[in-house]
Structure 1
Amino acid sequence: MLGDVNQPTIGVLALQGDVREHFSALAECGAKPVGVRRVSEFDAIDGLVIPGGESTAISRLLTVFDLLEPLRKRLRDGLPAFGSCAGMIMLASEVLDTRPDAEHLDGIDMTVRRNAFGRQVDSFETDLDFAGIEGGPMRAVFIRAPWVERAGSGVEVLATVPHGPAAGRIVAVRQRSVLATSFHPEVTGDLRVHKLFTDIVRKG
């Protein structure tokens, strides 16, 4: 732990996507959020959030700014990370329905299908039971969201779609200190996923 254990420094990858919303949620959970755009800034954080946005754009910018391999190394070395929506895609070990030149970070042993729920007009909300989080169902917002088609043997499934055509699809997972959701907890005001991640970071 680099900073105060009660106020860990959590970076938010600030290349593209909904950075500000994650900043606000992390601060409310007692963390110190900082933007990350340079390799040197990886050394000053206890954990990292990869926000929603456009996964192929994030992939391209990671490459342009020479962040891709350093971030892969930090994840291999145990850096706690949380990815929402596009962040989930970036953390996958395999991505379906993406550009052939798109890169990913191999943070979780899973296969993710990009835009699995459809286009922007197919965005929706539903209530999810989320394993390990108390307080009843969580309202989840899905916007051009992915889902997990394969979760490796070391991956814990935390939530699945409860009903409808996509019933049973995996939408939240954890492997060791890396967490991913295909929905956007940063936009609902429900801080429980961010609190879970902040606690993961505190435990190192």
Structure 2
Amino acid sequence: MRIGVIAIQGDISEHVEALERALNERGEKAEILTIKHKGIVPECDALVLPGGESTTLGKLLIREGIADEIQEMKDAGKPIMGTCAGMILLSKEGDEQVAKTHQHLLGLMDTTVNRNAFGRQRDSFEMELELSFLESPYNAVFIRAPGIVDVGSDVKVLSRIDDMIVAAEQGNVFALAFHPELTLDTRVHQYFLDKLF
């Protein structure tokens, strides 16, 4: 079993460590691969798109030939999780900020994203968040976070803050506006691994 983490930019080591903790807790083994170049994604059984700067990430995924491989992974039904910038990249449509920066979107989820839904870096926050797949609240860390403003009929909304969707899934694709890798609580990564094991 192999789990890939896109390692172009963002919270790469934090996701690797969170996945290792989650695997240890469930007594499962998997190889975690960090991905910077084309050719590794097809070897993976699951994939994480971490946070970072979404415009840069989008351009590099195209330049490195990784974007097409991610599309093929989605088509093969393999689990994909995107956090923060990863959520932006998974969306089909974006707001005027996405258009202005010529942000490349992978379009793997029938969602429309607001790139800076919760403001700038200084507006970052933590909160106890209700997620539909967890029995108790999760301490979610939002850093210059996006939000989903519209979803297609096949998208399952997993959490909202007021009118803003902050967690959703569509088939094998799972998107979060927050950073589960920045807490020691592995329940979100466990939910992702449930799709694999």
TM-score by length of 2: 0.91
Question: Number of residues paired by the alignment?
Answer: 189
Matched with 1:194 is 189
Q: Is 1:19 matched with 2:12?
A: yes
CA separation in 1, counterparts of 2:134 and 2:80?
18
Shift of 1:104: 1.1
CA separation in 2, counterparts of 1:139 and 1:92?
24
Q: Is 1:92 matched with 2:91?
A: yes
Unaligned runs of 5+ in 2: 24-29
Q: Verify the 8 A CA contact 1:76 1:107 in the aligned structure 2.
A: no
- Deviation by residue 1:4-62 (Cα, 9 ceiling, x = unmatched): xxxxx110000110000000011111143211122211121100000001100101111
CA separation in 1, counterparts of 2:82 and 2:67?
15
Shift of 1:68: 1.9
- Deviation by residue 1:132-190 (Cα, 9 ceiling, x = unmatched): 123x10011111100000011011110111xxxxx231100011111110000110111
Shift of 1:100: 4.5
- SS of the residue corresponding to residue 40 of structure 2 reads helix
- Deviation by residue 1:61-113 (Cα, 9 ceiling, x = unmatched): 11221222222232233221000000000111112122442211111110010
What one-letter code is carried by the residue in structure 1 that aligns with 2:139? R
TM-score by length of 1: 0.88
Matched with 2:104 is 103
Q: Verify the 8 A CA contact 1:26 1:32 in the aligned structure 2.
A: no
Q: Is 1:50 matched with 2:45?
A: no
- SS of the residue corresponding to residue 201 of structure 1 reads coil
The answer to which of 113-122 and 91-100 deviates more is: 91-100
Matches within 5 A, 1:24-39: 24-30=17-23, 31-39=30-38
Identity across aligned pairs (percent)? 42
Matched with 1:181 is 176
CA separation in 1, counterparts of 2:32 and 2:164?
31
Q: Verify the 8 A CA contact 2:55 2:101 in the aligned structure 1.
A: no
Matched with 1:113 is 114
Matched with 1:152 is 152
Unaligned runs of 5+ in 1: 4-8, 162-166
Q: Verify the 8 A CA contact 1:22 1:186 in the aligned structure 2.
A: yes
Matched with 1:164 is none
CA separation in 2, counterparts of 1:154 and 1:87?
19
- SS of the residue corresponding to residue 196 of structure 2 reads helix
CA separation in 1, counterparts of 2:40 and 2:189?
21
CA separation in 1, counterparts of 2:66 and 2:60?
8
